């Protein structure tokens, strides 16, 4: 698939913001789930629209998938059931794109999307896109092909094990291509091989001369899980110096700060995540935990209610409901059946 350079999060399995993942295969037009894929291009320059937001929602507005295009403008959703969907694309300085499609089943729908500039503006592509593209284009063609096959296996097919040989092939042909080592770490984390993932992330950091913020955030997350808080905080703050607007960096900083008892500072970082990425489910659970430590029970309930309303089928619904019930009891309230639905 496309590259998720700035938006890979830890811990747990990779988050592609999908409500369901299905096996692929089957015959065209069957009830076997299909997917949306394609390329987003800036109409005025005919250049790939890198790192722009793509969303897939049902006609009723339920979020199915949310992710960002790769440096080549490509995107591809996980497999989703047949049905009617709305696809939207957003990029600063360009008109919002909206398209309605009926997905009939496997293999899915291929889309070529052109973004038109807003009147009176001279929009610019994301700053990171040209540099990333230049690095990729500097690879031998076989290495470029291996990189695309590896990212497709990891992010589109959700087959982390299958992606690893491709990333290793890239590193054999281009030993200084630190992104491949980073992707190795991502795949190994998904496979639960945390020690190997840590080694891969440290290798990526070394190859980049510690100038790759995303690997700092990934390694910081892993170290936070291991309660190695001083090094985790040092890494995430170094990453944020390079990429101050990185919401995933603020997320990891919030986790470190909460884990070390600095709840007010943790709240500030978590609120920055919510502002930058309001559709990221775990932010509301993180805030609920922070507000619980700050003894702000009304805020806890607001966080949990927002999570349950926005993500009724989320992975942590049961935990959210239990925490809500516990908080209401602590406040002297008797939860009604409707509160717990």
What are the structural domains of the chain? 1-115 (2.60.40.180), 130-340 (1.25.40.10)
122 pLDDT band (50/70/90 cuts)? low
pLDDT for 165 equals 95
Instruction: Give pLDDT, residue 257.
Output: 96
Exposed/middle/buried for residue 316 (C-beta within 10 Å: 0-12, 13-18, 19+): middle
- Residue 108 falls in which region: left (phi positive, over 0), alpha (psi -120 to 50) or beta: left
Q: Residue 128: its pLDDT value, please?
A: 39
What's residue 154's pLDDT?
A: 83
- The whole-number average pLDDT for the span 38-54 is 85
pLDDT (0 to 100) of residue 105: 72
Q: Are 152 and 79 in contact (CB under 8 A)?
A: no
Q: Residue 27 — very low, low, confident or very high, per pLDDT cuts 50/70/90?
A: very low
Per-residue model confidence (pLDDT) at position 336 = 56
* pLDDT one-digit tens code per residue, 261-305: 999 999 999 999 999 888 788 899 999 999 999 999 999 999 999
Considering the chain, what is the average pLDDT of its residues?
81
Residue 178: the pLDDT is 93
Cα separation, 324 vs 302, in Å, equals 10
Q: Of residues 52 and 174, which shows the higher confidence score?
A: 174
Mean pLDDT of 44-62: 84
pLDDT (tens digit, 9 = 90+) per residue, 108-117?
A: 788 889 998 8
Lowest average pLDDT, out of 7-21, 146-160, 279-293, goes to 7-21
């Amino acid at each position: 698939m496309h590259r998720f350079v700035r938006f890979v999060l830890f811990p747990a399995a990779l988050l592609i913001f999908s409500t369901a993942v299905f096996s692929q295969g089957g015959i065209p037009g069957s009830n076997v789930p299909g997917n949306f894929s394609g390329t987003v291009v800036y109409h005025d320059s005919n250049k790939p629209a890198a790192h722009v937001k793509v969303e897939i929602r049902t006609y009723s507005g339920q979020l199915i998938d949310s992710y960002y295009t790769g440096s080549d403008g490509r995107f591809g959703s996980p497999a989703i059931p047949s049905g009617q969907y709305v696809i939207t694309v957003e990029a600063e300085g360009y008109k919002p794109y909206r398209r309605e499609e009926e997905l009939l089943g496997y293999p899915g729908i291929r889309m070529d999307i052109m973004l038109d500039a807003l009147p009176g503006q001279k929009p610019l592509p994301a700053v990171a896109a040209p540099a990333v593209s230049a690095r990729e284009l500097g690879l031998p063609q076989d290495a470029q092909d291996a990189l695309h096959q590896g990212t497709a296996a990891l992010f589109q097919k959700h087959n982390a094990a299958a992606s690893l040989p491709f990333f290793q092939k890239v590193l054999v042909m281009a030993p200084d291509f630190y992104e491949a080592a980073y992707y190795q770490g991502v795949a190994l984390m998904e496979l639960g091989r945390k020690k190997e993932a840590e080694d891969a992330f440290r290798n990526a950091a070394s190859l980049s001369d510690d100038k790759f913020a995303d690997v700092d955030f990934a390694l910081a997350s892993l170290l936070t899980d291991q309660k190695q808080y001083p090094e985790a905080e040092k890494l995430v703050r170094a990453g944020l110096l390079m990429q101050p607007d990185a919401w995933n960096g603020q997320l990891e900083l919030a986790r470190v700060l909460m884990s070390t008892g600095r709840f007010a500072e943790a709240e500030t970082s978590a609120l920055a995540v919510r502002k930058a990425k309001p559709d990221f489910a775990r932010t509301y659970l993180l805030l609920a935990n922070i507000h619980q430590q700050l003894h702000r029970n009304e805020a806890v309930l607001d966080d949990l209610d927002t999570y349950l309303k926005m993500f009724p089928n989320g992975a942590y619904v049961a935990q959210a409901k239990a925490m809500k019930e516990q908080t209401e009891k602590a406040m002297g309230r008797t939860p009604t059946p409707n509160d717990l639905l």
